[in-house]
């Protein structure tokens, strides 16, 4: 009932956007709940639908400008979900998992961009954790 009717209805009420829905759940303040809802919802999608939600660009990365908390949480949860699916999801996982070198450069650009926006190191640590928390 929840995964078949309630979650899709909630997403539809947020202009059909999973990211608007996650923003409404307050992923920064209540990420555990958002992850649980995402895990249930991802089970209802095929692998292509899961990966097509992400604004992935070159080198299987979300642009630094597009990386918002709800996008980072979805990305991380999708990667974890596809890993748990095993060999059947390997092709889909490849489309959203960056190479390690590219990801390292990405992290550097992300952190440097955030440092120019704010000097609050606690805020930086929260953002950094959300980006690197791929399990």
Instruction: Give yes or no for a contact between 107 and 131, defined as CB atoms under 8 angstroms apart.
Output: yes
Q: Is the entire prediction scored with pTM above 0.85?
A: no
pLDDT in tens, 15-74: 888 999 999 888 888 889 899 999 999 999 999 999 999 999 989 999 888 889 999 999
First to last CA, the chain: 29
d(CA 20, CA 39): 17
Residue 124 has pLDDT above 80, yes or no: no
pLDDT in tens, 60-104: 999 888 889 999 999 999 999 999 999 999 999 999 999 999 999
d(CA 12, CA 75): 20
The most confident of 14-18, 103-107, 115-119, by mean pLDDT:
103-107
Give 98's contacts (C-beta < 8 A, 6+ positions apart). 59, 60, 61, 106
User: Who wins on pLDDT, 120 or 112?
Assistant: 112
- Among candidate residues 80, 63, 73, 75, the one with its CA nearest the CA of residue 24: 73
Residue with tokens 């939600």: 53
Element at 81 (helix H, strand E): helix 69-85
Question: How many residues are given for the chain?
Answer: 135
User: Who wins on pLDDT, 129 or 77?
Assistant: 77
Residue with tokens 């953002």: 127
pLDDT value at position 135?
47
Confidence grade of residue 122 (pLDDT, cut at 50, 70, 90): low
pLDDT value at position 126?
60
């Amino acid at each position: 009932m929840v995964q078949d009717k309630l979650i899709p209805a909630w997403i539809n009420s947020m202009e059909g956007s999973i990211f608007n829905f996650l923003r409404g759940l307050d992923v920064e303040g209540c990420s555990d709940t958002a992850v649980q809802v995402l895990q249930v919802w991802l089970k209802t999608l095929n692998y292509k639908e899961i990966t097509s939600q992400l604004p992935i660009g070159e080198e299987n990365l979300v642009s630094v400008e597009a990386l918002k908390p709800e996008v980072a949480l979805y990305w991380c949860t999708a990667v974890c979900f596809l890993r748990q699916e095993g060999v059947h999801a390997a092709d889909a996982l490849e489309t959203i998992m960056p190479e390690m070198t590219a990801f390292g450069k990405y992290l550097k650009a992300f952190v440097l961009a955030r440092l120019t926006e704010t000097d609050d190191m606690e805020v930086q640590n929260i953002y950094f954790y959300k980006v690197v928390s791929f399990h």
